[in-house]
Chains A and B, each alone.
Chain A
Amino acid sequence: GNSVTQMEGPVTLSEEAFLTINCTYTATGYPSLFWYVQYPGEGLQLLLKATKADDKGSNKGFEATYRKETTSFHLEKGSVQVSDSAVYFCALSLLGGSEKLVFGKGTKLTVNP
């Protein structure tokens, strides 16, 4: 089946620290990969995406590279801010059909000043 595995949280960092949130996937076809972010009390927002191998998605200082050989899509940011505190979800969708999203369980990030 199709599934996404994220590193267990919560993750607590100091401001300006380097962030990595690991994400690996299993897919029966060729997926598109996404990172969504959920700020407290809000809905999910698309953070970045990649639709083919070796693509790099980036937004707001966050980056993730689609690695087909390791079936991974790790999220990174060089210097986190307090405002980055949120829950981060890795997700995949398969080409064609409904393109429904399959989500990981989420990783809660807290950034302290």
Chain B
Amino acid sequence: DTGVSQNPRHKITKRGQNVTFRCDPISEHNRLYWYRQTLGQGPEFLTYFQNEAQLEKSRLLSDRFSAERPKGSFSTLEIQRTEQGDSAMYLCASSLAMVGYGYTFGSGTRLTVV
């Protein structure tokens, strides 16, 4: 297992376009998280899945954002009608449902909306 993989690494899109990011977690991890990191800030929680169920969503996740994890494996994060304020690093992490286990993060997808 090569860890958590995110694609693409970089995405430049025009305002108003839709974008989709993919995350492949560590195969035995049943939890998958999405975070957003802007320059000079720590990552902020967006949403998480346990297996295929999306169990929590942050109020940061507006109705333009949607995430899926079909069959409890990989996950996608889609942003519709992108805005310049969506420019950020989108981080995916996976974990086991154990107290204090800690996450394994992917390298992230850097989104730039022009």
> Could you tell me which A residues sit within 8 Å of B by CB distance?
4, 32, 34, 36, 42-46, 49, 51, 89, 91, 93, 95-106
Asked whether, in the complex, the Cβ of A100 is within 8 Å of the Cβ of B33, the reply is yes
B74 within 8 Å of A (CB atoms): no
B86-114 interface (Cβ within 8 A of A): 91, 93, 95, 97, 99-108
Name the one of B48, B101, B105 contacting A44, with C-beta atoms under 8 angstroms: B105
Asked whether, in the complex, the Cβ of A45 is within 8 Å of the Cβ of B43, the reply is no
Bound complex: CA of A51 vs CA of B101, how far in Å? 9
Name the one of B4, B33, B45, B97 contacting A102, with C-beta atoms under 8 angstroms: B45
9 closest residue pairs by CB, A with B? A103-B42, A51-B100, A32-B100, A43-B107, A43-B105, A44-B105, A100-B45, A46-B102, A98-B56
Name the one of A89, A96, A99 contacting B42, with C-beta atoms under 8 angstroms: A89
B6-53 interface (Cβ within 8 A of A): 31, 33, 35, 40-45, 48
Name the one of A49, A95, A98, A103 contacting B43, with C-beta atoms under 8 angstroms: A103
Asked whether, in the complex, the Cβ of A49 is within 8 Å of the Cβ of B102, the reply is yes
Asked whether, in the complex, the Cβ of A99 is within 8 Å of the Cβ of B108, the reply is no
Q: Which residue of A lies closest to B98 (CB)?
A: A99
Name the one of B55, B100, B105 contacting A45, with C-beta atoms under 8 angstroms: B105
Asked whether, in the complex, the Cβ of A43 is within 8 Å of the Cβ of B102, the reply is no
Q: Which residue of B lies closest to A105 (CB)?
A: B42
In the complex, besides A46-B104, A103-B43, A106-B40, 20 extra interface pairs with C-beta distance below 8 angstroms are A4-B42, A32-B100, A42-B107, A44-B93, A45-B105, A46-B103, A49-B100, A49-B102, A51-B99, A89-B43, A97-B56, A98-B31, A99-B95, A99-B100, A100-B48, A101-B35, A101-B43, A101-B45, A103-B44, A106-B42
